[in-house]
Amino acid sequence: MISKMQDHTWGTSCVEGTKEMAKALASLVEAGDCMELSGDLGAGKTQFVQGLAAGLGVSAQVISPTFNILLSYIDGRIPLFHFDLYRLDDALELEDIGFYDVLEDEGVVCIEWGDKFPEALPDDRLIVYLSSKSALEDVAARTIDIDATGKRSRELRALWEEALEKAAERFQGLR
């Protein structure tokens, strides 16, 4: 279900694997953490947030905020703010949607399509790049590359990858 492919690159063969990877991250995040989620349409960004939300104990159904731009989930361990910047054309629009206020709020922020406005994102963030390919091409139908841009995000990446290694070992043990 989850496998390490190379340094900071992980693979999974199914949607549930993507969600499980995000659940492993949920127990590690703290208020103020920010994740930039990048990848093509349909690569699994919203599924990733669904797994993170489940791991945080969010009871609401998590959907893509493509038309809302921001959806907030406040009933979990810590609040989760989920942005989708796909429909925005200019970084100036970020002010209109309260983007910077949310970044300063006491929650975890996930930003789909944040790579459209990298200059507006926090200096310290976890970058999760999701890509999917045909299951015929490779055993891993989805790859997740993890980058970190600051001290906290590097710590978070290390902790997350440690948790993913344990999850991958458990999965191998079930075979």
Which amino acid is it at 162?
E
Q: State the pLDDT at residue 140.
A: 54
Q: Return the CATH number at 13.
A: 3.40.50.300
> Is 22 in contact with 48 (CB distance < 8 Å)?
yes
**Residue with tokens 């390490």, as numbered in its chain:** 4
Structurally, the chain folds into a number of domains equal to 1
Mean pLDDT per 10-residue interval, the chain, length 175 residues: 88 89 96 96 93 97 92 97 96 96 96 96 97 59 94 98 88 49
Domain carrying residue 169: 2-174
